[in-house]
């Protein structure tokens, strides 16, 4: 089936919390996305974490990047507003990403992947290197990386703690338990609630579990030949990531030729959210270089 899409043609710049929910159908599956920022730049496609929908993208990061670049945030297949069934492998998610890039009419894009999104971004870059100009990998790690197959065993107790304390589990999973970490967590979670209208649908339990299966499989997968990635790459994480241990970001920087590495002190998995202003500034310098 040929792709069809609906788009906002007003050309008006708007903040992420007011961006229109759009849809494009690829091989019979509708993919929901938001598209903002100036149209004259190479599009930057955002790929988010386990269980994330459009409203889990940090609006400060999206708006900061979209001030000078076209930014497209997407829902994976089977989650949020997108149709179909969530894939059980990162490779399938990457195939979806490549098909979506084509359907949107882009010859080449930049990719920013956070956590699971970083796995998908790596797989896209290895499968279709001609489609990727620059790569930003945050809070993530390589296939077969240390502790990645144990994300579930790390996450479930803290998800339960979140339920018992009436807090979003990301408060515990993405940030340190220090004063700085707790303040950053509260501020981040407050930002995620800023959008009042036309919010995305939350993840279903089925999609959540299927994505966890894909993450676990990635953690058990044989390492990929990252030396093949001749794409400029920026890597960022906190120094205390408990979900995708920080050592994995260091491993990525050691295996991807000429990769740049940022490690934020007293920060966890969500280090880029805790230090969003610094991260946006460094990401824009990297993308514009």
pTM passes above 0.75: yes
* pLDDT at 5 exceeding the cut of 60: no
Q: Which residues contact 208 (CB under 8 A, 6 or more apart)?
A: 50, 51
Percentage of the chain beyond pLDDT 90 is 94
The three-point CA angle 18-20-21 to 5° equals 125
The 10 Å CB-count burial string (b at 16+, else e) for 162-171 is beeeeebbbb
CATH code, 152:
3.40.50.1820
List the domain range (segments joined by +) for residue 32.
Answer: 4-288
User: Is-contact 138 111, C-beta < 8 A?
Assistant: no
Q: Which residues contact 240 (CB under 8 A, 6 or more apart)?
A: 176, 246, 266, 267, 268
pLDDT in the model for residue 249: 98
Cα(225)–Cα(128) distance, integer angstroms: 14
pLDDT in the model for residue 268: 98
Q: Which residue has the higher pLDDT, 63 or 1?
A: 63
The model's pLDDT over 17-72, given as tens digits with 9 standing for 90+, comes to 999 999 999 999 999 999 999 999 999 999 999 999 999 999 999 999 999 999 99
> How many structural domains is the chain composed of?
1
User: Is-contact 132 240, C-beta < 8 A?
Assistant: no
* pLDDT at 260 exceeding the cut of 70: yes
According to DSSP, the β-strands at 29-36 and 22-26 are: antiparallel
């Amino acid at each position: 089936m040929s792709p069809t899409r609906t788009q906002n043609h007003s050309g008006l710049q708007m903040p992420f919390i007011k961006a229109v929910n759009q849809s494009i159908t690829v091989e019979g599956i509708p993919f929901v996305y938001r598209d903002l920022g100036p149209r004259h730049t190479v599009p930057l496609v955002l790929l988010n974490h386990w269980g994330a929908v459009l409203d889990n993208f940090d609006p400060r990061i999206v708006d900061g990047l979209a001030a000078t670049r076209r930014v497209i945030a997407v829902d994976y297949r089977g989650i949020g507003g997108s149709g179909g069934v969530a894939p059980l492998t990162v490779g399938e998610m990457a195939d979806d990403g490549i098909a979506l890039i084509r359907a949107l009419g882009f010859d080449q894009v930049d990719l920013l992947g956070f956590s699971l999104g970083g796995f998908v971004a790596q797989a896209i870059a290895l499968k279709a290197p001609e489609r990727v100009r620059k790569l930003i990998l945050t809070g993530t790690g390589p296939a077969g990386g240390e502790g990645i197959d144990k994300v579930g065993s790390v996450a479930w107790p803290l998800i339960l703690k979140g339920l018992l304390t009436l807090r979003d589990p990301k408060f515990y999973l993405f940030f340190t338990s220090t004063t700085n970490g707790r303040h950053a967590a509260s501020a981040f979670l407050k930002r995620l609630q800023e959008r009042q209208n036309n919010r995305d649908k939350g993840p279903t339990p089925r999609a959540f579990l299927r994505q966890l299966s894909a993450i676990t499989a990635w953690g058990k997968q044989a390492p990929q030949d990252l030396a093949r990635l001749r794409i400029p790459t920026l890597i960022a994480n906190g120094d205390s990531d408990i979900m995708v241990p920080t050592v994995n970001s260091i491993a990525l920087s050691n295996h991807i030729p000429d990769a740049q590495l940022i490690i934020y002190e007293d920060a966890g998995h969500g280090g880029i959210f805790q230090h969003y202003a610094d991260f946006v500034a460094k990401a824009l310098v990297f993308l514009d270089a």
